Structure 1
Amino acid sequence: MSALSLRLPNSVHRHVKEFAQKEGVSINQFIASAVAEKVSALATEDYLNARSEQADKNAFDAILQNVCDRPPLSGDEF
């Protein structure tokens, strides 16, 4: 594990402290978890973008042509 010095605006630090206390974790644990969530989200976005570049749009359109044309189920309307 490595150490990192982090400067936060006072207002952000205050919110982090409040939420960490509310969650019952240390400020360090709270920030580490928040950073891990962000890294995971960015990695997922990169993965999905890479996968979408491999997509065969013609095959996708062909599959959609096989979908029945019927009204949406109750609750699924626009």
Structure 2
Amino acid sequence: MSQFSLRLPDSVMEEAKRLAEDDQVSLNQFFLAAISEKLGELKTRKFFQQRAAGADVQEALNILDSLPMNEAPVKGDEIG
């Protein structure tokens, strides 16, 4: 396990303490969860950006154009 010293503005530290207390976790657990969540988000974003970079937009539009347009939406999928 690694250690890292972190300087935080007082306002950020107070908010983190409050949220950790609300979740009934230690401040250490709160920071670990927050950092892990952000790392997962960045990794996921990179994955989808790489997938999108290789996409064939015209092929996707052709697939959408081939779908039937006269069917009513499934109940709960209506717009408006």
Same fold (TM over 0.5): yes
**RMSD of aligned alpha carbons:** 1.7
Please list every run of 5 or more consecutive structure 2 residues that lacks an aligned counterpart in the other structure.
none
Q: How does 1:19-30 map to 2 (within 5 A)?
A: 19-30=19-30
Give distance in 1, aligned partners of 2:10 and 2:53.
Answer: 42
Alignment-derived partner of residue 16 in structure 1: 16
1:11–1:72 CA distance, 2 compared to 1 (3 A): farther
Q: Which amino acid aligns with 1:15?
A: E
- The normalised TM-score by structure 1 is 0.86
Q: Which amino acid aligns with 1:64?
A: L
Please list every run of 5 or more consecutive structure 1 residues that lacks an aligned counterpart in the other structure.
none
Give the CA deviation at 1:69. Answer: 2.2
Structure 1 residue 77 and structure 2 residue 74: aligned?
Answer: no
Give distance in 2, aligned partners of 1:32 and 1:51.
Answer: 29
Tell me the alpha carbon deviations over residues 4-26 of structure 1, each in whole angstroms, 9 at most, x when there is no partner: 10111111111111111111111
- The normalised TM-score by structure 2 is 0.84
Give the CA deviation at 1:71. Answer: 7.7
Structure 1 residue 53 and structure 2 residue 53: aligned?
Answer: yes
Give distance in 1, aligned partners of 2:13 and 2:72.
Answer: 47
